[in-house]
Structure 1
Amino acid sequence: MSEKPVDRFRRLLLSDPGRSEGYDALTVTLGTDDVQAAARAARQACAADPENRRLRKNLLFLLQRSGAWDLLDTWTPRQPRSLPGRRSHPVDLDRARAVYDRLMKELDARRDEGWTPSRVEHWKRSFTMGRGHLANFRRSELSSGTQNPPDRPVGFPNLDFSRLYPDVTAEERKREVPALRRLAMKLLARLFRRDCPDIDWFDALARDDDRFGARVFEVPGLGTVTFKSIQSAYYACRAASLVPRNGTVLEIGGGFGMLASRLLAIRPDVTCVLTDLPVNMVLTHTYLASLYGDAVAGLWEDGDRPGPGQRALVVPPWRLAELPLQVDLAVNTMSFQHMDERNHAFYGDVLRRLGTRRLYHVNRNVHLDNPDHDTMVMPAERYGFMGDYAVSEQRDFDGRWIEVVAEARPGLPEPGGSR
């Protein structure tokens, strides 16, 4: 009996892992039952030529095809890096509450300006933030817009401000730990497909602690994590690859600062400017200050400017355009889609005035079944401000989301100018 083609391809690879024609042919024959053998051979090929992008991508494909998610982080060629232990800096919660009260007065006085809450986030016009909720804001609906299960318990009443999230149960651990592991491997695979140069940081960035009441899970191979920390590790690796050395990143809708905290950890040369609605700005400043202390500045008042060594600047939206900054990269993850058109027009003007060179965002990209559920029902690439940018990368993220990288078109004004 003649030798089957797949056996011949496999034999070629096992004897000569770098032989590209044998490898490519084996990839084509994935309809056979030899996917796991192909993955083993692909691993040998990568070991022989770890910088070969084609071999890395094919190995990734074979691991995914065979369902070998647990092998992804050990079989793929990279060198995981470690961050130093995270320090804990004291934060003044009473001062944070006072800042919140002042920002809410500004919100009331500026209620007709373009940055103010859309219909989806209208509740943020009136929330009274107590000290206990601020101290445990990651167990509170105070940060509901930044939380996903299991960070926010399944079935917890939406916008219930009367109680904090309960402790993690044994049933949740059993159910959620494998899901969190799969999420980490899925995002790691995306970084490989993007040939992200900062991928070696992913494992370290995915780790989290219970700062401000986070519901943490111990995931084998990663350590203590939350859904948000795994997700933010991916975003930080992507953003780090898109901002130049000594660059400035503007994050619009920074949540409570999780992405920025990761980016600051691996890019000490970068300055992060974060803006959001009042409640989120206070959470952002509180969370980042607990990690980076005096390197975090809240530029709340007219005329406030950053001091020496301050790398994270939390800035109210109405103050953005006056800052003497050139923005190299603007970032938004999953909040443009619940802004309305006036919000988009406001931030589009901010991006122009700050001379923003590059845009990275992940947002909803499908028409909603029920338009009344949200204010934005258009695909992400049709947001008004996207006319100022030429899309250089646009890929499906997870069915309902799209990941976009865009470059400013020629003729962008100098910072502080206008068209």
Structure 2
Amino acid sequence: MHAWPASEVPALPGQGRDLRIHDTATGGLVTLDPGPVARIYVCGITPYDATHLGHAATYNAFDLVQRVWLDTKRQVHYVQNVTDVDDPLLERAERDNVDWVALAEKETALFREDMTALRMLPPRHYIGAVEAIPGIVPLVERLREAGAAYELDGDIYFSVESDPHFGQVSHLDAAAMRLLSAERGGDPDRPGKKNPLDPMLWMAARPGEPSWDGGSLGRGRPGWHIECVAIALDHLGMGFDVQGGGSDLAFPHHEMGASHAQVLTGEFPMAKAYVHAGMVALHGEKMSKSKGNLVFVSQLRRDGVDPAAIRLALLAHHYRTDWEYTDDVLREAVARLDRWRAAVSRPDGPPAEALVEEIRDALANDLDAPTALAAVDRWAAAQQEHGGTDIGAPGVVSRAVDALLGVAL
């Protein structure tokens, strides 16, 4: 599966800062010190409704991570999946009386278009669950051979008790885990499971549903968590720098994935930091496909909204906070974009070197984009009120905003 084209990231003078970021597993800020190549895995979409602003906010956060690393002169090895076979996708295809493969391809293509428009840097490897199946099957077989998986009516389950570190990503108690498991794709009430929290690794073929040859596992399809584990281990290995996604993935998805990988490899942890973006709400409730309260990037673009303004609307909120989308949020972003573009349209202006360092400092401090935006606002206001004599300063600002914030002025 191919990703989307990369926008050019301008090189800036000076040196970026190492990133301090909130790690869900430790509950505090950690300073990441990758080697020459920083490694990040971000969980991708299930392509049956793409791309709403909740998606965009999540991928914007991890785009900032990449930009901070690139500014430190590192390379970035970014991997993202597409869950292109799963119950929600099959259910939507049946509801709409369309082929599930065609639906997945259509929504994935739309996601690519939106990511391109928003200037999100693409992953080096963009892998669908279906194409990952040949690598998933051996992992499930290994877990079963190690006694960490068991069969139940043809389905294969992972035993969470096989991982002594289980629970160290989300730090939830058993009652909370059980509740979230039921809400987020698990089946804690299924009779016969060793532990209600045990997640499915391989689902035996069901009538009328797609299935693949699973070798000794029989025909079926992979569970949700093992999909990401197979892709991450194949392309990044253990101990990569950041495992990312929305806050609703901390449990069960990232918790289960970590346990799968740790049992498979005998190493801990799977990722050095588990980083989670907040949720975006509309009309008082989290944007949700099931509720239908979604604002789509593609619709905003069709309505004539500049993608740079959409990106500024996302950047105006700290990535870890939950926030609510309103028309005012977008209006403020459009006005900000207009002010910034007017400010950089002049041949000279106030000195810009200190501003570049302010943006760097803000982003290195747990991706504090709102503080970075406020710094650019001050420079633009000074340009508007007093102008300046630093020839080339507007160009420096324009390149910095593009390189570090992903906003093309």
Query: With structure 2 as the length reference, what TM-score do the two structures score?
Result: 0.24
* More strand as a share of residues: 2
Which protein is bigger by CA-based radius of gyration? 1
TM-score with structure 1 length normalisation?
0.23
User: Larger relative contact order (C-alpha < 8 A, sep ≥ 6)?
Assistant: 2
